[in-house]
Amino acid sequence: MKDWKVIISKLSGGGKAGEAWARISELLAAKGVTYSESFTEYKYHAIELTKEALREGYRKILTLGGDGAIHEILNGVMTQTEVPTQDVTIAMIPVGSGNDWPRYHRIPLNDLDKAVDIIVADKEMYQDVVKVETINNGNPYTRYMVNIGGLGFDAQVCHLFEASKKKGKSGDAQYYKCLMQGFLWYKCPDFKIKVDGEPFFEGPALSVALGNGRYCGGGMMETPNAVIDDGLLDLTVVKKFPKIKFLFSVKRLFKGTILEMKEVVATRAKQTIEIEASPASFMEVDGEPVGCSPAKCTLIPAAVKVVTNL
Q: Can you give the length of the chain in residues? A: 310
- Over range 217-232, report the average pLDDT: 93
Is 58 inside a domain boundary?
yes
Helix (H) or strand (E) run with residue 118 in it: helix 112-121
> Is residue 99 a contact partner of residue 223, using CB atoms and an 8 Å limit?
no
Q: Are residues 267 and 152 in the same domain?
A: yes
299/78 Cα distance (integer angstroms): 13
Q: Which residue, 122, 140, 169, sits at the end of a domain?
A: 122
Q: Above 70 in pLDDT, residue 136? A: yes
310 is a domain residue: no
Q: CA dist 174 to 21, 96, 161, 167, 246, Å?
A: 27, 16, 7, 11, 21
The answer to whether residue 308 sits within a structural domain is no
- Which of 105, 122, 139 is a domain's end point? 122
Tens of pLDDT along 37-56? Answer: 999 999 899 999 999 999 99
Is 307 a domain residue? Answer: no
Residues 241-258: b if buried by 16+ CB within 10 A, e if exposed:
beeeebeebeebbeebeb
The angle that helices 112-121 and 16-30 make with each other, rounded to 10 degrees, is 50
* Domain shared by 87 and 154, yes or no: no
Same domain (yes/no): 208, 191: yes
pLDDT at 164 over 80: no
In a domain? residue 54: yes
Residues 109 and 153 in one domain: no
The alpha-helical segments, DSSP class H, found in 152-199 are 153-166, 172-185
Q: What is the pLDDT of residue 14?
A: 66
Please tell me whether residues 263 and 172 are part of one structural domain: yes
Please check whether residue 146 lies inside any domain of the structure. yes
Same domain, 90 and 170: no
User: Which pLDDT value is given to residue 193?
Assistant: 98
- Are 279 and 137 part of one and the same domain? yes
Do 114 and 135 belong to one domain?
Answer: no
Q: Let me know whether 65 and 155 are in one domain.
A: no
Q: pLDDT band at 232, cuts 50/70/90? A: very high
Which pLDDT score is estimated for 294? 98
Domain encompassing residue 230: 129-302
Q: Say if residue 107 is in the same domain as residue 135.
A: no
Structural domains counted in the chain: 2
Domain of 276: which CATH number?
A: 2.60.200.40
Given 76, 102, 122, the domain boundary residue is: 122
Instruction: State yes or no: pLDDT of 218 exceeds 90.
Output: no
Statement: residue 251 has pLDDT above 80: yes
Quickly state the pLDDT bin for 95 (edges 50, 70, 90): confident
Q: What is the mean pLDDT of residues 265-282?
A: 97
CATH label of the domain that carries residue 74: 3.40.50.10330
1: confidence class by pLDDT, cuts 50, 70, 90: low
Q: In Å, what is the CA distance from 154 to each residue of 176, 187, 203, 285, 287?
A: 12, 12, 18, 11, 9
94 and 144, same domain (yes or no) = no
Which H/E stretch holds residue 204?
A: strand 198-211
Q: Are residues 175 and 95 in the same domain?
A: no
